[in-house]
Amino acid sequence: MRFIADMMLGRLARWLRLYGYDTLYGIEDDDEIVRIALREDRVILTRDSGLAKRAEKLGAEVFLLYSNSLEEQVEELRRLGVEFGELFPPSARCPKCNGLLRSASKEEVKGKVPPKVYEKYDEFYVCKNCGQIYWPGRQWEEMVKMDRKLRGEK
């Protein structure tokens, strides 16, 4: 399933990417969202009932979400059949740009990450699109905590 999220759903879009879902985000014009969704066979994610109605009339598939909370939005999507399996699966995407992530060797990131990060970590990922580098640091730990919360785990 591929998505396009409206401007109200930035946090959800980033999380969907981390779970491996191809999710476009950042398009402000509702008509453009609908055009892209129809052209690329994407499901529109929105909290805007007006956008949802217009898009459905034009033949786009739409998930109208009601909650403002990430946890509740994830639950709404689960009820619609979206699966939230492994965080950072092999198909994980960059939360910033939606590009695919790939493993990177420690040597490859030398000089591109802070020296303390280079010394402390051996696991790195690089976005194939924007070049952003990720490692299992403090932010990663927070994402894992949120993942557990989203799954209903402790």
Is 110 domain-assigned? yes
Taking the C-alpha atoms of residue 151 and residue 108, their distance in angstroms, rounded to an integer, is 34
Least confident of 22-26, 115-119, 147-151: 147-151
What residue ranges in 2-132 does DSSP mark as E strands?
Answer: 3-5, 23-25, 43-46, 62-64, 101-104, 124-127
pLDDT, tens digit (0-9, with 9 covering 90-100), for 59-115: 999 999 999 999 999 999 998 889 888 777 788 999 999 999 999 999 999 999 999
Question: Which residues span the domain enclosing 109?
Answer: 101-151
Is 147 domain-assigned? yes
62 and 114 belong to one structural domain: no
72 and 7 belong to one structural domain: yes
The answer to whether 49 touches 55, Cβ cutoff 8 Å, is no
8 and 74 belong to one structural domain: yes
The answer to whether 79 touches 88, Cβ cutoff 8 Å, is no
